[in-house]
Amino acid sequence: MLISKMKGSIGTLVILACVEVCLGQSGGDFVITGAVIASGGRESSSGVTSLTGTIGQAAAGNTSSGGSFSIQSGFWSSPQLSPTSAAVSVGGVVAMADGRAIRDAQLELLSMDGTRRLARTNAFGFFRFDDVSAGQGYVLSITSKRYSFTPATMFITVKGAISDITFIAELRDQDE
């Protein structure tokens, strides 16, 4: 009956339907005192989250509550989301410029909270740190008695598993 009176007016249908729903939700231990139907304006975004407009949101600044719930209407700020700390591996190879592997080079992975982890290269020049938390930055350093490295230290941001870090070794002068 409501639809037949409107004769195709979609805007009126939406407003009347909302009035029916909104009025139907008042009563009991809570009362909705005001609501607006609006497009909400422009796009709002932060990082990977965006919102384009709103509809049917209660007027800004109102609090509705009853029983074991309450809801604050209006403009919401997004929570600060952090990357998950998934455990990944970080590794690579240490070799001479001609490709010969460097064994027993010592590597240190220093996290921003000061935690130090050590690894050594194997006979094929490979190294790996397991259970590294993703979403963080680390300082990776390398040392060896027989070899020098340029650079000997690098900053890495771990977003996922890394297996392609390369350090190129040069034979140290005997005088060093």
pTM beyond cutoff 0.75: no
**Amino acid type, 105:** A
123 — pLDDT class (breaks 50, 70, 90): very high
DSSP-based three-state secondary structure for 122: coil
pLDDT tens-place string over residues 16-69: 444 444 444 555 666 666 655 555 555 666 666 665 555 555 555 566 667 766
pLDDT tens-place string over residues 111-122: 999 999 999 999
Distances (CA, A) of 159 to 14, 83, 131: 45, 9, 13
pLDDT tens-place string over residues 131-153: 999 999 999 999 999 999 999 99
Q: In the chain, pLDDT over 70 holds for what percent of residues?
A: 50
CB 95 within 8 A of CB 102: yes
CB 97 within 8 A of CB 123: no
